[in-house]
Chain A
Amino acid sequence: MLDLLQELGRWSLKGLQRLGRSNVFMLYVLGGIPMCVRRPRLVITQMFAVGVLSILIIFVSGLFVGMVLGLQGYNTLVDFGAEESLGVLVALSLVRELGPVVSALLFAGRAGSALTAEIGLMKATEQLSAMEMMAVDPLHRVIAPRLLAGIIAMPLLAAIFSAVGVFGGYLVGVGMLGVDDGAFWAQMQASVEIREDILNGVIKSLVFGVAVTWIAVFEGYDTLPTSEGIGRATTRTVVNSSLAVLAFDFILTALMFNK
Chain B
Amino acid sequence: MVEYRKIEILVGAFVFAGLLALTILAMKVSNLTDFGGGDGYEVKAKFDNIGGLKVRAPVKMAGVQIGRVAAIGFDNKTFQAVAVMKIDRKFNAIPKDTAAKIYTAGLLGEQYISLEPGGDEESLKDGDTIVLTSNAVVLEQVISQFLYSKAAGDDKSGS
Say whether B90 faces chain A, with CB atoms less than 8 Å apart: no
Is the pair A44, B11 in contact by a Cβ cutoff of 8 Å? yes
B18 near A189: Cβ-Cβ < 8 Å: no
**Set B11, B22, B32: member contacting A159, Cβ < 8 A:** B22
Residues of B within 8 A of A (CB-CB), count = 26
For A193, the chain B residues whose CB sits under 8 A away are 30-31, 36, 56
Contacts across chains A and B counted by CB atoms under 8 Å = 88
A95 touches B10 (CB 8 A): no
Do A48 and B11 touch (CB < 8 A)?
yes
Set of chain B residues within 8 Å of A45, measured between Cβ atoms: 4, 7
Which residues of chain A come closer than 8 Å to B56, judged between CB atoms? 193, 196
In the complex, chain B residues 1-31 whose Cβ is within 8 Å of any chain A Cβ: 4, 7-8, 10-11, 13-15, 17-22, 24-26, 28-31
A224-259: which residues lie under 8 A (CB-CB) from chain B?
259
- Whether the Cβ atoms of A194 and B26 lie closer than 8 Å is yes
Q: Closest Cβ of chain B: how far from A49's Cβ, in Å?
A: 9
Known A48-B7, A52-B10, A195-B36: A160·B31 in contact at CB below 8 Å: no
B30 and A55 within 8 A (CB): no
B17 touches A194 (CB 8 A): no
Interface assignment of A47: CB less than 8 Å from any CB of chain B: yes
* Residue-wise interface mask of A (108-145) relative to B, using a CB-CB cutoff of 8 A (1 in contact, 0 not): 00000000000000000000000000000000000000
- Chain A residue numbers with a CB within 8 Å of B29 are 91, 95, 162-163, 166, 188-189, 192, 198
Residues of the A chain whose Cβ atoms lie less than 8 Å from the Cβ of B25: 95, 159, 162-163, 166, 198
CB distance from A110 to the nearest CB of B (A): 14
Contact A52 B14 (CB under 8 A): yes
In the assembled complex, the CB of B13 is this many whole angstroms from the nearest CB of chain A, namely 8
Closest Cβ neighbor of A91 among chain B residues = B29
- 16 A-B pairs with CB atoms under 8 Å apart are A41-B4, A44-B8, A48-B7, A48-B10, A156-B19, A156-B22, A159-B19, A163-B22, A164-B21, A166-B29, A189-B28, A189-B31, A192-B29, A194-B26, A198-B26, A259-B54
B residues bordering A, Cβ < 8 Å? 4, 7-8, 10-11, 13-15, 17-22, 24-26, 28-32, 36, 54-56
Q: Which 6 A-B pairs give the minimum distances between C-beta atoms?
A: A156-B18, A163-B21, A159-B21, A192-B30, A160-B21, A159-B22
5 other A-B residue contacts (CB within 8 Å) besides A51-B14, A160-B17, A188-B29? A47-B14, A189-B28, A192-B29, A194-B31, A198-B30
